[in-house]
Structure 1
Amino acid sequence: MQGMAVTPQVEASQAAPKKYQFDFGEGPVEKGFTGVSATTRYNEKMGYGFNTPENMKNVTAAGTGVASDAVQFLAFGTKSENTFNVDLPNGLYEVTVTLGDTARASVAAEGVFQLINMTGNAATDTFQIPITDNQLNLLVTEGKVGTNFTLSAIEIKKLSKHAVMKPTIYIGGDSTVCNYYPLANSLQAGWGQLLPEFVDTETYQIRNMASGGQIARGFRDDGQLEAILKYIKPGDYFLLQLGINDTNPKNMTTEAEFKEIMRDMVRQVKDKGAMVILSTPQGRATDFNSDNVHNSENRWYRHSILALAKEEKVPLVDLNVLSSTYFTSIGPEASGKLYMPGDSLHPNREGARQLAQIVADDLNRQGFEGFMSR
């Protein structure tokens, strides 16, 4: 916690509101929101503000309403002290973030990533977070270096006085798995983005920490695994699918190195008491032979993923083979329509939906709770 809240304020929090709304920038403030300028410094009396406003800047934004203006973070990084702080009674909260104009940005809070690679102006997403020190510390940070990291609005709703997240399905992966924005109607999608359609979301929340272009070493070392390890607990799942980008020579990851990095992540999560489930990536739209049979079993370090699952005694979704069976059943032309135009690797929204359904079907078949079969 970077801006200490005074004890009397915490004690008085029994009557505190269950919802907080902040509209950032120097433009008109939306009804029901509290206006916050880049110059608003945190103080104990207000209970909110920027920790270091000298590292903030008011900017315009192309959206409407709360998204018509924003603040820009001039200092950033998950460990940066240039945060927006809000005093909150301890408990579990739901935080909805609306960005300003930015190509790709991530949201961090409490020193770790919360949302990964939000793309496009006025992108909006929501996450749950347990507050245990009476204060939320949030900032917008790297999705893509060189772009502006901006924030238009946040809405904070208290869910429970107990600072424990409900059972959670964490997902790790690359561009075939990650979220694309707007979440509700993006043309491109990853199967992790569509998985909520096939999960009992009354019982489980889904945290998709996958990101485009990711490799095993990057996921482990650059903050995504750190965020998962901070919160994951017994009763949670961690679905991990990597390998596509690791096979690219530019990433200089041998198959043996890939396998050991994946093993390290598996063991770290198992040590937290959560269930790790490995997945193999689906193939390309063009992986059909002359008999119109789809097969991509030799792609993406798949054999090492299978071996690792066996050695570490963790469940496996062989999405590579399962998706090939599906693609073969519908044929090359229909399979091609499940990928982005002119792209044989990345699924479109319907393709991601089909892959998510295949993953959920297989997990349901294996007896895992929360996954709905067709």
Structure 2
Amino acid sequence: MPAMRAEAAIDEIKFDFGGGDVEPGYIGVSASDGYAPEKGYGFNTPDNMQNVTASGTGAASDAVQFLTYGTKSENTFNVDLSNGLYEIKVTLGNTARASVAAEGVYQVINMTGNNATDKFQIPIADGQLNILVTAGKEGTAFTLSALKIRKLSDNPVTNRTIYIGGDSTVCNYYPLDSSAQAGWGQLFKEFVSAQTFQVRNMASGGQIARGFRDGGQLEAILKYIKPGDYFILQLGINDTNPKNSTTEAEFKEIMRDMVRQVKAKGATVILSTPQGRATDFNAEGVHSSVNRWYRHSTVALAQEENVPLVDLNVLSSAYFTSIGPEATLELYMPGDTLHPNRAGATELARLVAEELQRQGLDGFSADR
């Protein structure tokens, strides 16, 4: 493959990683390809990369594996780019669960399954993209099959953004457009004006407030969030699990700390309470779960910090009551009374958007 300078004077650059055939229209990159200024792309430390096979087709039929990783790792794939705003589309190789980091912070959290695909916006202000696939689950391979880079603007500032934080009832599942299980954050963009906002769902399964604050997800949001952006934060389900050793008082203060850090960036913080279980019906057929998931502390915190509240716990209970126990159970995964399926996540996303629209926040629509 002759050297090709990657600097984005053109609209889109596509890379095909691994040791196999190179898909037409792509630049082939093997694990041994180190970065060189004359070509404008390559691995920073190629000794820490290896070629692997993948189960997809075309550019997804092979991949490279990152042998060292971490959001601060120097084992990155580097691409020289003119400064501006870019859309990055990533396709992983074979892996159980992996995250994507760039510029030292998380960009996509916990992509699951072989050849998972996702995309994100990133501003480049130093002339180079530095990206890697990193741990979502230790002990699995962190692999990259393909990368598409498209320039959106010469201005290195993200479009107006809604960031979402949460747990397994909120997070993304893959493939994004067809997964049976879904979090409401995954479906939220269906109720958001694409002309007003992009949605960045930073939720992850099993997450607690302390983990979200200290484990890199809040760090990624704070790096980019700005006035005009929203941050919707819904936690509490896993915090109430005794194994996580988080008292309700501790949960409330950790959440307060996150609220204040984001408010200091000039963005709007929105707190949300988690929905209950599918089986939280009384003998009269009324659904209620107001005593679950440290809800009372989230409600109180929203009042104390003067931030908008989406009491999804109560809103979803009213909806579940209106459709009844059997129809409610059909909105959850089989044999699972906590995690919504795609239809359930869609209804929860609708309720969140509908409530924000009712409160007068812009950019939302309850109509799909």
TM-score tier, shorter chain, comes to over 0.9
Instruction: Give the TM-score, by structure 2 length.
Output: 0.98
Q: Deviations over 1:206-252 (max 9, x none)?
A: 00000000000000000000000000000000000000000000000
Match of 1:129 among 122, 127, 132: 122
The answer to whether structure 1 residue 334 and structure 2 residue 327 are counterparts is: yes
Q: What is the rounded CA distance, in whole Å, between the counterparts of 1:332 and 1:31 in structure 2?
A: 53
Q: What is the rounded CA distance, in whole Å, between the counterparts of 1:307 and 1:226 in structure 2?
A: 25
Match of 2:231 among 227, 235, 238: 238
Letter in 1 for 2:58: G
Residue 364 of structure 2 corresponds to which residue in structure 1? 371
Residue 84 of structure 2 corresponds to which residue in structure 1? 91
Q: Deviations over 1:39-62 (max 9, x none)?
A: 000000010000000000100001
Q: What is the rounded CA distance, in whole Å, between the counterparts of 1:202 and 1:127 in structure 2?
A: 16
Secondary structure of the residue aligned to 2:334 is coil
Instruction: Give the TM-score, by structure 1 length.
Output: 0.96
Gaps spanning 5+ residues in structure 2: where?
none
Residue 29 of structure 1 corresponds to which residue in structure 2? 22
Letter in 2 for 1:94: E
Match of 1:166 among 159, 179, 183: 159
Shift of 1:135: 0.1
Match of 1:286 among 279, 290, 293: 279
RMSD between superposed Cα atoms in Å: 1.0
Shift of 1:26: 0.3
Match of 1:312 among 305, 308, 312: 305
Residue 62 of structure 2 corresponds to which residue in structure 1? 69
Residue 6 of structure 1 corresponds to which residue in structure 2? none
Q: What is the rounded CA distance, in whole Å, between the counterparts of 1:71 and 1:185 in structure 2?
A: 26
Secondary structure of the residue aligned to 2:60 is helix
Identity over aligned pairs, percent: 75
Letter in 1 for 2:186: Q
Alignment of 1:1-374 (within 5 A): 16-374=9-367
Q: What is the rounded CA distance, in whole Å, between the counterparts of 1:234 and 1:249 in structure 2?
A: 37
Q: How many residues align?
A: 363
Secondary structure of the residue aligned to 2:20 is coil
Q: What is the rounded CA distance, in whole Å, between the counterparts of 2:194 and 2:336 in structure 1?
A: 32
Q: What is the rounded CA distance, in whole Å, between the counterparts of 1:254 and 1:156 in structure 2?
A: 44
Letter in 2 for 1:198: F
Secondary structure of the residue aligned to 1:92 is strand
Q: What is the rounded CA distance, in whole Å, between the counterparts of 1:202 and 1:338 in structure 2?
A: 30
Shift of 1:188: 0.2
Q: What is the rounded CA distance, in whole Å, between the counterparts of 2:236 and 2:366 in structure 1?
A: 26
Q: Deviations over 1:153-204 (max 9, x none)?
A: 0000000000011110000000000000000010000000000000001220
Shift of 1:318: 0.1
Shift of 1:17: 1.5
Secondary structure of the residue aligned to 1:21 is strand
Residue 3 of structure 1 corresponds to which residue in structure 2? none
Runs of 4+ in 1 over 4 A off after TM superposition: none
Q: What is the rounded CA distance, in whole Å, between the counterparts of 1:280 and 1:116 in structure 2?
A: 21
Q: Deviations over 1:235-276 (max 9, x none)?
A: 000000000000000000000000000000000000000000
